[in-house]
Amino acid sequence: MSGHTVEEIEQEKRKYWVVFIALVALTAITVGVSYLHLSTGAAVFIALLVACVKGGLVAGVFMHLISERQAIYAILVLTAVFFVVLMLGPSFTRMGGVVG
């Protein structure tokens, strides 16, 4: 955990507000881009890219993953591996057709 003196904690507070402004701006960008009517591929890529940046800010700063203990990183590496397998699952699947 970083920041133990009062000055360091005060600095941390400013950092949280900066991240808040960045998150609001990125949300506005996501919504704005959705009105541009881009191709599906480009729209998905940009939306997920912005979401990943936002998610990274929340996890890295608010959940202070930037400076955490090894044990937590170990848990998260394992989680990430299984998550990727879950996400890749659909691309290994041959659909017989889904009725809407």
Binding footprint of another protein on the chain (CB under 8 A):
6, 9, 12-13, 16-17, 19-20, 23-24, 27, 30-31, 34, 40, 43-44, 47-48, 50-51, 54-55, 58-59, 62-63, 69-72, 75-76, 78-79, 82-83, 86-87, 89-90, 93, 95, 97-100
* In the complex, least distance from residue 6 CB atom to another protein, rounded to whole angstroms: 7
* In the complex, least distance from residue 10 CB atom to another protein, rounded to whole angstroms: 8
Distance from C-alpha of 85 to C-alpha of 35, rounded to nearest angstrom: 32
CB 49 within 8 A of CB 36: no
CB 66 within 8 A of CB 60: yes
* In the complex, least distance from residue 66 CB atom to another protein, rounded to whole angstroms: 13
Question: How many Cα atoms are found within 13 Å in the side-chain-facing hemisphere of 3?
Answer: 15
Cα–Cα distances in angstroms (integers) from residue 61 to residues 2, 66, 71, 72, in the given order: 11, 7, 18, 15
20/66 with CB nearer another protein = 20
